[in-house]
Chains A and B, each alone.
Chain A
Amino acid sequence: MKEKFLQIEQVDMIFGQGAKAAHVLDQINLTVNQGEFISIIGHSGCGKSTILNVVAGLLDASSGFVLLDDKEIKGPGPERSVVFQNHSLLPWLTVYENVALAVNKAFKGKMSAQQRHDWILRSLDMVHMSHALDRLPSQISGGMKQRVGIARALSLEPKVLLLDEPFGALDALTRAHLQDEVMRIQGELNSTVMMITHDVDEAVLLSDRIVMMTNGPKATIGEILSVNLPKPRNRIEMADNPEYNRCRQAVLSFLYEKQAKVEL
């Protein structure tokens, strides 16, 4: 496992120019090891999604840079695949075709058609969606759509998997289910994951480290908390685990005492 796999160095983000310029991110420095699960948590509007978009390459940082595996990232690419908040499946493609679009683009020339087909099925099998290959996104539930979104992102074999509030739009039960799935898959593949969330329990349950953002404008990293719990974690056992509760407490007090947001 490589240390300093993903390095975010001195990243500033300023939208617009002159008097209307919005200084969103200020001096973001973060190092992620290979196989690590990192969550970024903060109040809405603190620019946590902006960090993810910079790492994804969907946004260019105003200054600073991001290194992945010692290479500076330029623009988006399949080695940093994103699971978007609202799944972003293409509605005119079936479940199978949505994943196939990604796999066929990324592995054309590297795998035979048969291998790609098997790979698509394996990716969908990993999220337990093999039963709905020929369904359209409009014919499956929100949780299932997000499973397919995860399968699509994983099928690209990314060096780092970026989750942008992946469970935010789901009901609590579905969310818990998918969190367990993501935990299991990350354990199996040992993927490096960066997840944006505003859910304290989700962050503590899934993460090795939790990055807490101060409020914007000029948001930056306030604290970083290590969650020293072996994985996989069981959400029921965690309820009276002292380390779990210590971490939960720490995040809550950061969000609601040190960085209490004044709602207007």
Chain B
Amino acid sequence: MNESLMSRALNYSKYHALPPLLMLLFFLLLWEGLTAGASATLPAPSQVLSETWELIIDPFYDNGGTDVGMGWQILASLERVAYGFALAVIFGVSLGVLIGQSTLAMRALDPIFQVLRTVPPLAWLPLSLAGFQDSQPSALFVIFITAIWPIIINTSVGIRNIPEDYRNVARVLNLRGVEYFSKIMLPAAAPYIFSGLRIGVGLSWLAIVAAEMLIGGVGIGFFIWDAWNSSKISEIVLALVYVGVIGFILDRSVAWVGNRITRGTSAS
């Protein structure tokens, strides 16, 4: 029993964990080799590690102002994403339901949304700064406006694709209004909604890093910009690693929640 568990774990790591780890090692070695010469403009991995070691081992120091640990920087960015994304979920799902339910609403709103969704996130920033006169709500607005389009579009597609059978079941059972919405419509559209949320959270994370570079304050985006201005290239590299890993975790978390809620029925 224990042995088979052990061998299964070994087998798993052999086929799933080993290849990416080897590849990573290969890339690190390649990078080390390419940046070995004295004329290299970028730091080698070993140099990055030694120069940022202080930051890595103490992620939660606080020297006041923007001089805080990487942990705080990331939490600040995550907080912005959380607020902006939560707003996008509320409005996006509501609008998506409206468009999915009503042909008139779809005809009226869809063309507008199709144009607006192509506007790059950062292009909204000056406008929102002008409107809000403050950097914090502007950053939230950029997150909101970035994440909302895939949520609206996926929700409306999900609502429109609810099988006729489910609608008939609801009609025979006399499920109407709120009951229909919560017991049939949302669960039936949930797989679509969650793929919208997943795209949305990914885009939010892309947008926040860029937006923070411009608005300043505590946050991983401004940390990168600040590091560039003080020529601490190693810190930029470290920040990029963090940004990538956090983005990956965000994406997987939303997928995991979606899977739990739809009970893995998205396939059927």
Contacts and interface: CB of A to CB of B under 8 A. Distances in A.
Interface string A82-115: 1010101011110000000110011000000000
Interface stretch (B49-57, B162-170, B203-211, B237-245): B162-170
Interface string A164-183: 00000000000000000000
Contacts of B163: 88
A56 interface: yes
Contacts of A92: 187-188, 190, 262-263, 265
A88 B179 contact: no
A105 B265 CA distance: 24
Given A88-B165, A90-B184, A138-B268, A105 B173 contact: yes
- By DSSP majority rule, is chain B's interface helix, strand, loop, or mixed? helix
Given A92-B187, A92-B190, A138-B268, A82 B173 contact: no
A57 B174 CA distance: 11
Interface in A102-150: 102, 105-106, 136-138
A58 interface: yes
Interface in A2-52: none
Contacts of B187: 90, 92-93
B165 A86 contact: yes
Contacts of A81: 172
Nearest to B184: A90
Interface string B179-204: 10001100110100000000000000
Given A136-B265, A138-B265, A88 B168 contact: yes
Contact of A78 (B166, B173, B183): B173
Contacts, number: 58
Interface residues of A, number: 25
A102 B173 CA distance: 6
Contacts of A76: 168, 171-172, 174
Interface string A211-250: 0000000000000000000000000000000000000000
B213 interface: no
Given A136-B265, A138-B265, A138-B268, A88 B173 contact: no
A88 B268 contact: no
B255 interface: no
B165 to A, nearest CB: 4
B175 interface: yes
Given A92-B190, A92-B262, A92-B263, A101 B165 contact: no
A92 B188 CA distance: 8
Instruction: Find the residue from A88, A91, A106 having the highest chain B CB count within 10 A.
Output: A91
A160 to B, nearest CB: 12
Interface in B250-268: 262-263, 265, 267-268
Contacts of B169: 84, 88, 90
Contact of A84 (B168, B188, B190, B263): B168
6 contacts: A58-B171, A78-B172, A84-B169, A86-B165, A105-B175, A106-B173
Given A90-B184, A105-B173, A106-B173, 14 more contacts: A57-B171, A76-B171, A76-B174, A78-B172, A82-B168, A84-B165, A86-B165, A91-B265, A91-B268, A92-B187, A101-B183, A106-B174, A136-B263, A138-B267
Q: Would you list the 8 A-B pairs with minimal beta carbon distance, nearest first?
A: A88-B165, A91-B265, A76-B171, A92-B187, A76-B172, A91-B268, A105-B173, A92-B265
Interface of B: 163, 165-166, 168-169, 171-175, 179, 183-184, 187-188, 190, 262-263, 265, 267-268
Interface of A: 56-58, 75-78, 80-82, 84, 86, 88, 90-93, 101-102, 105-106, 136-138, 156
